[in-house]
Amino acid sequence: MAFLSKLTARMLQPKIGAAALIAYAFGKHPGWDDHMADVGIAHPDILTFKQQFYVEALAGNINSGAWKHLPEPELIPMFDHQFAALNDDTAMIGAMWASSDGKGRTLFPMIGLIFSRGLSPMHVAHIAGPIVETFQASAHEQKIAGGVQTALDAAQQQLNAALPSIPLMTRAVPMMTGLQTAALIEPIDDARRRARIVYCLQRVLEQTRSQTQRQSQNGSFFEHVRLPQTVESPQTPASRSRVPMTALSWAALLLAQLGTPLPVLSVTYTGRPGNSWNDLIIGAIKTASIFPLRASNEKIPPCSEIPFELSDKFVKACDEFLSACRKAGDQPAPLLPSP
């Protein structure tokens, strides 16, 4: 069986130049008695992400009891997240959900993702969202390891068929158009709450610029901000499959405003109807940087709900910024106003 799985993986592996589009899964599933054997093509960048995110950061919070010690109102009861990660010429679009191993242990989630290299992240996210959603549903239904492999192979075949139609990546830093930027912030129905979002993004940008100058040698810094989920509540399969695009858009907005390619992880919690949010982490994936992923908004409120003291002048400047974004249309968005 192992030989056939490896042979199938080689047959399914994309072969178009330097571009890559790979389906992958790891974590916990009832088909394995412990952490599952990884399923998919083991690209080095995927293995690095797994090591940093799952083996070190996720396990660090679980094994230390950091999440377990949160009181019930401040703890998200289970994993139910979708995410997008950007790093240089690679992107990952995926989901993380509550699962168990064959012995019934439930501390760790299962993770399914689509990795791309050298391809337009926005186009990848548009294709990847429904494929990840379908794979997650199939993994829930399967009880044996072979069934997970079959579901993953089906996802890879869809990706191989889509690969020739996806444009190559043309810039190191994503471009966010004016309309794309406005679409993220404008759904918030109050000018002062919109201004809080702009204020927090600007603060993260300032801290990132400062820390990259001081710690450029070790790359250990990170910044986190919790943003409201400003697109429709992700509860139907159709709307859930669009969540990665929104998560990716927040990451792209931050990098476009920064003007420098840095690792960004954007994670959307989708487990509460009508009450979801997006955790944006720029910099290193560490135990501390992903701690917010299981902390509810009672513990870490979205920045739009934090009562910062903002001047009327800045609130007006933020609305003027959004007007300028709409006027920019498909051209790059202007820079965020400063407080």
CATH number of residue 26's parent domain: 3.30.450
Taking the C-alpha atoms of residue 271 and residue 28, their distance in angstroms, rounded to an integer, is 19
pLDDT value at residue 16? 37
pLDDT band at 17 (very low <50, low <70, confident <90, very high): very low
Taking the C-alpha atoms of residue 298 and residue 223, their distance in angstroms, rounded to an integer, is 20
Per-residue pLDDT tens digits for 302-315: 999 999 999 999 99
The size of the chain, in residues, is: 339
Q: Based on the domain organization, do 141 and 270 belong to the same domain?
A: no
For 110, phi then psi, to 5°, come to -105, 145
> Considering the domain boundaries, does residue 171 fall inside one?
no
**C-beta atoms surrounding 104 within 10 Å:** 7
Instruction: Count Cβ neighbours within 10 Å for each residue of 326-337 and write b for 16 or more, e otherwise.
Output: eebeeeebbebb
- Quick check: 46 and 140 in contact, CB under 8 A? no
Residue 140 identity: H
- Quick check: 243 and 252 in contact, CB under 8 A? no
Taking the C-alpha atoms of residue 291 and residue 86, their distance in angstroms, rounded to an integer, is 19
Q: Based on the domain organization, do 125 and 64 belong to the same domain?
A: yes
Residue 127 identity: I
Residue 175's contacts (CB-CB under 8 Å, 6 or more residues apart) are 252, 256, 332
**C-beta atoms surrounding 261 within 10 Å:** 15
Cα 105 to the chain's mean position, in Å? 25
Q: Based on the domain organization, do 112 and 248 belong to the same domain?
A: no
Q: Based on the domain organization, do 207 and 247 belong to the same domain?
A: yes
Q: Which two tokens stand for residue 327?
A: 């006027």
> Considering the domain boundaries, does residue 142 fall inside one?
yes
- Measuring CA to CA, which residue among 31, 233, 35 is closest to residue 138? 31
pLDDT at 217 exceeding the cut of 80 = no
> Considering the domain boundaries, does residue 173 fall inside one?
no
Number of domains the chain is built from: 2
User: pLDDT exceeding 70 applies to what percent of the chain?
Assistant: 88
Q: Which two tokens stand for residue 336?
A: 């965020």
> Considering the domain boundaries, does residue 35 fall inside one?
yes
Question: Poorest-confidence range of 6-10, 48-52, 154-158, 249-253?
Answer: 6-10
Residue 132's contacts (CB-CB under 8 Å, 6 or more residues apart) are 82, 93, 94, 95, 112, 113, 114, 155, 241, 244
Q: Based on the domain organization, do 109 and 221 belong to the same domain?
A: no
> Considering the domain boundaries, does residue 337 fall inside one?
no
| Range(s) of the domain holding residue 201 | 178-328
Mean of per-residue pLDDT scores for the chain: 89
Q: Based on the domain organization, do 152 and 250 belong to the same domain?
A: no
Per-residue pLDDT tens digits for 56-93: 999 999 999 999 999 989 999 899 999 999 999 999 99
Q: Based on the domain organization, do 202 and 146 belong to the same domain?
A: no
> Considering the domain boundaries, does residue 228 fall inside one?
yes
> Which of 107, 142, 165 delimits the end of a domain?
165
Q: Based on the domain organization, do 161 and 184 belong to the same domain?
A: no
> Which of 165, 194, 215 delimits the end of a domain?
165
Q: Based on the domain organization, do 199 and 158 belong to the same domain?
A: no
> Considering the domain boundaries, does residue 334 fall inside one?
no
Q: Based on the domain organization, do 191 and 130 belong to the same domain?
A: no
Handedness of CA 271, 267, 115, 182 (dihedral sign): positive
pLDDT value at residue 92? 97
> Considering the domain boundaries, does residue 336 fall inside one?
no
Residue 91's contacts (CB-CB under 8 Å, 6 or more residues apart) are 84, 85, 115, 116, 119, 121, 124, 125, 248
> Which of 108, 132, 165 delimits the end of a domain?
165
**Average pLDDT estimate for 129-140:** 95
- Measuring CA to CA, which residue among 133, 138, 158, 96 is closest to residue 239? 133
Q: Based on the domain organization, do 28 and 125 belong to the same domain?
A: yes
Q: Based on the domain organization, do 140 and 206 belong to the same domain?
A: no
